[in-house]
Amino acid sequence: MAKAKLKFLDLNARHPGVSSGVALSYAEAARVSLDRHHTSPCEFAIQDNGGSNVADAEWIECDAALKAAWANKDDATRDGAYGLALAAVEETRKLVAVGRAETRTGADYYLSETPVAPDSFEGSVRLEVSGTSDGSNSVINARLAQKLEQAKKGTSNLPAIASVVGFSALRIVSADLEQT
């Protein structure tokens, strides 16, 4: 069986809630963030609700102009994490982004297995994302707990997933918010 791939370079081809411009932006940010620590290809450990998988990430090395465009490390880490988290949830759960979440919903994106009406995300799952450039496993795990709490406090009552991308650690950790 072939190893899984994190398909973060063309999210708009499969995620109706990600435009081509946003997909390109996330891919650039992910490439810059990965180039900070690694060379292509590399293997990510993906942990989802305690289950573990691995997936390869491949990209073209960034030139000086792209690195200069994404010189703000925080922005590059955040936007790159969006791209890799969406690719990971697609690979592990077969969910795709169907829309960007509103402020204070406790999420960044709405996900679904099937297309939804653009004005209704009923039946969707929320995805709350974070990224860390240099964080260790303990930092990633602590951030996951923070993101789960943020999703819990959100104004939406839809089910939620929190996901944290660790660029240096080559680790993506996701978990479901327990419904009460």
Contact indicator for 53, 113 with CB cutoff of 8 Å: no
The amino acid that residue 90 corresponds to is E
Domain count, the chain: 1
Categorize the per-residue pLDDT at 49 as very low, low, confident or very high, splitting at 50, 70 and 90. very high
The token pair at 16 is 């109706």
Domain that holds residue 61: 4-176
Tens digit of each residue's pLDDT (9 = 90 or more) over 20-29: 999 999 999 9
Q: Decide if pLDDT at 44 tops 80.
A: yes
DSSP classification of residue 26: H
Q: What is the structure's pLDDT at 118? A: 63
Q: What is the structure's pLDDT at 135? A: 87
Tens digit of each residue's pLDDT (9 = 90 or more) over 52-105: 999 999 999 999 999 999 999 999 999 999 999 999 999 999 999 999 999 999
Contact indicator for 16, 116 with CB cutoff of 8 Å: no
Categorize the per-residue pLDDT at 180 as very low, low, confident or very high, splitting at 50, 70 and 90. low
| Residue 41, preceding peptide bond in cis (omega within 30° of 0) | yes
